[in-house]
Structure 1
């Protein structure tokens, strides 16, 4: 989350009034991500998040917003987009798509325990099952097609060693996607970005899953791999944490059992997840956009994880 478009208090007040919401009492820009403009907006009775979309279009957004409503309606702790008197949930502000969602309680956990990972695993499995009857379709926007597009571009900016790594991993993932085992993997709507900063906890309990704007239809295993690469790797040592991984997978399988194909391809999907975030972080370093408040992420973290998963680097 970041601030690319700076809004005045009066602008937000008028926008809330048009939606039939209470008058804002405070407005604060949110830092931490790199895709959209986000503000915390508090009124006398409720707390909201206002998002302006800097890349996503009016045509792309219904998939994400209605998925959030679909999951929230099934009892999952997801943001629920606010509708106006006509049932509309997608609006325009400063000529950009805009949405208001309820602000979920809690805060992210930078140093998760096995108990935190267990909660995330259970919630992710519930998300996968609850989304199984979601009718809208959209491919993972940061999947194989995107990788094919960005690797040649990044090749003009990165080192020779990084260029070789990106090319080799892309070839591996392309071959994997053609395999019969890969085609057997269960699929459906996935979050695709379930990092520590996108999960909220309140008094030790999982209270919210946020930021669905990289969601798409892909293998459930990709979602699982994204989580393992973030939640189950120690931040300081960058070593895999076996206890946290076991807690995450055990809790996930208590809700939805993995298939034999999923067990077989889990290491390869962890490579895919590391590759995806290495690419996006390299892109943001070499081809950045301007923002009033912007926190970029270090690509070396996922480069190390990818090299380790490929057996080319021992974490120490």
Structure 2
């Protein structure tokens, strides 16, 4: 949980005066997430989410907001940014770039069912197709270029067995990314962080996606693997539950078919998604930032997922 920048009611009222969002009624800090500061904001004209961007370079912020705008305009259920009266999608608030987006209905689901997974798979495929013509997107800041950098910084703080695991998996991923298969995987702007707490359901068949601040250019297969590693776990385990996994993949296939390179690369993509979040959670735990509220997530969860996915073989069917 994290609130890095505290905003007073008066600061928020002054900032909202430049928007057609109505008068402030209530602002409540959101005690979730580990990257940005977020508030629920109620005004006389609606319900919103205020985000103060903490680490993302300001030059990247237009991409994230314009991607949300692009997807929302194409019928994807996601937050839509509200421009101020000067047409800006973000502006300074208490020293940080801040943006106001529509607040979606629904609740996150902890215990996913196959129905939830099938609906998420279909929505993810729709998102990929909708983003295909979005235009250039920045590289994944926590992607393959960052992994060796993170490992080098973490190395003095890791036990030898963990250093060996990370180095071995990094080498395997680099070898895969040198293949024609990987280079030909379909890719575009993707969310790259669709965990269960970033999806709201009004019913098991109606998901909407929030928190696009890790969005980047990456493969559609990686984006799907991120979802699978979080949504499709067996109860009280890190192995993949067949019913949930099949439902996720069937939902995706109902909108878009996998190409042969994606079928062959599925297990490596699951491993890549596990490595990414294991390293980032290690980094947040062992090299933390200060925050008004901060509770780093347990990296051992993704260590166990990575070890399990390294035992898998086979292709998508």
* TM-score of Structure 1 vs Structure 2, range by shorter chain: over 0.9
Q: Which residue of 2 aligns with 1:247?
A: 247
Q: Which residue of 2 aligns with 1:163?
A: 163
State the shift of 1:289 in Å.
Answer: 1.0
Q: Which residue of 1 aligns with 2:298?
A: 298
Within 5 Å, which residues of 2 pair with 1:209-248?
209-234=209-234, 236-248=236-248
SS of alignment partner, residue 167 of structure 1: helix
Per-residue CA deviation, residues 34-78 of structure 1 (Å, 9 max, x unaligned), is 100100001133100101111012201111110000000001111
Q: Which residue of 2 aligns with 1:138?
A: 138
Q: Which residue of 2 aligns with 1:269?
A: 269
Per-residue CA deviation, residues 216-269 of structure 1 (Å, 9 max, x unaligned), is 111100001101100001352223111010000001011010001101100001
| 2:258 is the counterpart of 1:258 | yes
Within 5 Å, which residues of 2 pair with 1:1-316?
2-234=2-234, 236-311=236-311
Runs of 5+ in structure 2 lacking a partner?
Answer: 313-317
Per-residue CA deviation, residues 119-165 of structure 1 (Å, 9 max, x unaligned), is 11000000000001002321122111011211111111111111111
Query: 2: CA distance between counterparts of 1:9 and 1:120?
Result: 37
C-alpha spacing 1:235/1:298, structure 2 compared with 1 (3 Å): farther
Query: 1: CA distance between counterparts of 2:262 and 2:77?
Result: 26
TM-score (norm. length: structure 2): 0.96
SS of alignment partner, residue 7 of structure 1: coil
Query: 2: CA distance between counterparts of 1:235 and 1:211?
Result: 26
Per-residue CA deviation, residues 80-122 of structure 1 (Å, 9 max, x unaligned), is 1101123211211122111100101111001010000011100
The count of corresponding residues between Structure 1 and Structure 2 is 312
Query: 1: CA distance between counterparts of 2:71 and 2:65?
Result: 10
Q: Which residue of 1 aligns with 2:315?
A: none
Query: Which stretch shifts more, 249-258 or 10-19?
Result: 10-19
TM-score (norm. length: structure 1): 0.96
Query: 2: CA distance between counterparts of 1:234 and 1:151?
Result: 29
Runs of at least 4 residues of structure 1 off by over 3 A? Answer: none
Query: 1: CA distance between counterparts of 2:265 and 2:204?
Result: 32
Query: Which stretch shifts more, 17-26 or 66-75?
Result: 17-26
Query: 2: CA distance between counterparts of 1:207 and 1:169?
Result: 33
Per-residue CA deviation, residues 162-188 of structure 1 (Å, 9 max, x unaligned), is 111111111111111101111121111
SS of alignment partner, residue 134 of structure 1: coil
State the shift of 1:207 in Å.
Answer: 4.1
Query: 2: CA distance between counterparts of 1:95 and 1:206?
Result: 37
Runs of 5+ in structure 1 lacking a partner?
Answer: none
SS of alignment partner, residue 208 of structure 1: strand
8 Å CA contact retained: 2:132, 2:189: yes
